Chain A
């Protein structure tokens, strides 16, 4: 009885792990596709650069996004989705304001800036 229960419990934990990792962080598009990157670039320059981020990912009120090898896919996506809050500045949450595909495309664009000139 105990063995069955503990195996079932282990299976549930394993299942939960996979479900969680297979959640919002999985890209729904090819992040390396130049078309997605180009669309993301346009979306970034339309939505993100009025007063906050610099054009093409340059520094503005928001930080420099070019040559940011420290920014991972999940972090970029999650920040765009959920926003960011500091005492003096707040980035709004774009979840629900932009569709998920657009957010992934912007993510693709920012990732493409890793080796920007």
Chain B
């Protein structure tokens, strides 16, 4: 019943668009907010949440742009976001012909998806603390639900705007940024029907990171999940007080089981002198499944117990893959391994290697997750470990057409000396790291990047592209058989998703950290690339690829469509 309504409404929407009537107002009449919430997954022309659908695949069923005509893509419009501080790291939303974009300093804009012209903007007045802290100035995206746009701020708030007008509906102080080592929000929230979920930064901060559920209508905090388990066996002494954690990347929501899933941050200090945080430090570097109504833990799996390498689980995305009637949750940890879970029970189904160069552990038991042959970093020596902590931690994509998971990977290593730090003395602009990691080429080899097409459950390689310089954008796949990505130089790229053959590129002038999306507007398919190099991780990238230090910054949304 819902599907046929969706089809009818979608057809009507296209008819209206073709007739040239005001797209936005027509569609908001056609789809009331409560219906839109249920129909989101069925509207091919929309990108209504961070990873497009609740399955988290970043796959679009649109196919007007396809393998045989992508060479004919041309620029349809460009929108400058205005503030280019730290570049553009977002994945914009597109709902009913409106682009919702968030740029530096939490500036939100609504743009006409066919022309790029601004409909409204909201520039929050941020507390001065945002200029003093470390984790500033980007946001990876906004969320949409019930006719509102939601986002977390650099000064620790959650804000809701009226999606039609941009008017602020509520602003809630969720975390005390000045008092928690500069903790705040830099990722898109998750709209989970009766709650909107915010995962805070950060594992490298002297604080107690949490995941919050807020009432979407009022901004009232309904629940808070402690990523640092309140258990002296997990956190010896008073280590839990400054244990880090948090969940700094967008999580996932399963509307069937009303469960929210997050990958959590690493424990602090990242590098442990040996006695800074006795215990397994649950639930850092873990995947947790929470009851959406209460925030209570349904299950948790700690991918890296007592993490000593900054191999947190707040990475990429949580993808749901269905095969032979069975649903799996696929998650790539910074440690170089991909974990496959039963999403309902949390039972581990498999662990497979994404990275080629891994030496922090000899192996991980694919049935139990047990770490075998761990190389424990020690104080007083220079430790060398692989992989490098600055992997490609933005979102991969899964295509149900090819059955493949696509992921940007970085092959590199790092060295570090462990330094004892006092958490109370770490400045706001600093990190409770416990040492300064330095990037290294792998032993006997040169660091490089690769773009992989893999079986998501077994890790079997279908194809792989090697690059001298890794990519750090999120990925997009479509029913047109295409895979879209963006490199650090500024090339927007399209590949044949089945073979990896590059089919198209366009130089936008500045590199990519965010995620391309695709949508329909004015009766046609568009691909929208957020172009604009920046981000704190780039400081590390320059250690191995010094040319990146001179790449131009930027902040522009570049929309393409067929001639």
**A residues in contact (CB < 8 Å) with B:** 45-47, 49-55, 59-62, 83, 87-90, 92-94, 97-98
Contacts and interface: CB of A to CB of B under 8 A. Distances in A.
A89 to B, nearest CB: 7
A84 B234 CA distance: 41
Contacts of A90: 85, 131, 136-137
Given A87-B84, A88-B85, A59 B546 contact: yes
Contact of A88 (B539, B546, B553): B553
Contacts of B543: 54, 60
Nearest to A102: B427
Contacts of B428: 92, 97
B87 A88 contact: yes
A52 to B, nearest CB: 5
B549 A97 contact: no
Interface in B115-164: 131-134, 136-137
A88 B86 contact: yes
Contacts of A55: 436, 438
10 contacts: A46-B421, A47-B427, A50-B430, A50-B433, A61-B538, A61-B542, A92-B132, A92-B429, A97-B427, A97-B428
Contacts of A50: 134, 204, 430-431, 433, 436, 539
B77 interface: no
Given A90-B85, A92-B132, A93-B131, A51 B553 contact: no
B163 to A, nearest CB: 30
Contacts of A92: 131-134, 428-429
Given A54-B543, A60-B543, A87-B84, 20 more contacts: A45-B436, A46-B419, A50-B431, A50-B436, A50-B539, A51-B539, A52-B536, A52-B539, A55-B436, A83-B131, A87-B85, A88-B534, A88-B553, A89-B86, A90-B136, A90-B137, A92-B131, A92-B133, A93-B429, A94-B427
Contacts of A59: 542, 546, 549
Contacts of A87: 84-85, 553
Contacts of A93: 131-132, 429
A43 to B, nearest CB: 10
Contacts of A98: 427
A94 B86 contact: no
B537 interface: yes
B429 A49 contact: no
B223 interface: no
Contacts of B87: 88
Interface residues on B, range: 20 to 34
Contacts of B542: 54, 59-61
Main secondary structure of the interface of B (DSSP, over half): loop
Interface in B432-458: 433, 436, 438
Given A52-B539, A55-B438, A93-B132, A88 B84 contact: yes
A52 B549 CA distance: 11
Contacts of B538: 61
Nearest to A61: B539
A47 B430 contact: yes
A54 B542 CA distance: 9
Contacts of A94: 427, 429
Contacts of A89: 85-86, 534, 553
B430 to A, nearest CB: 5
A59 B439 CA distance: 13
B540 interface: yes
Contacts of B421: 46
Interface in B513-542: 534, 536-540, 542
B155 to A, nearest CB: 14
A61 B549 contact: yes
Contacts of B132: 92-93, 97
Contacts of A53: 539
Given A50-B430, A97-B428, A60 B539 contact: yes
A46 B420 CA distance: 10
A90 to B, nearest CB: 6
B427 to A, nearest CB: 4
Given A90-B131, A92-B133, A46 B539 contact: no
- Sorted nearest first, the 8 A-B pairs with minimum C-beta distance are A88-B553, A97-B427, A51-B539, A92-B429, A61-B539, A51-B536, A60-B539, A49-B436
Interface in B71-88: 84-87
Interface in B230-256: none
B12 to A, nearest CB: 44
A81 to B, nearest CB: 12
Interface in B401-432: 419, 421, 427-431
Contacts of B553: 87-89
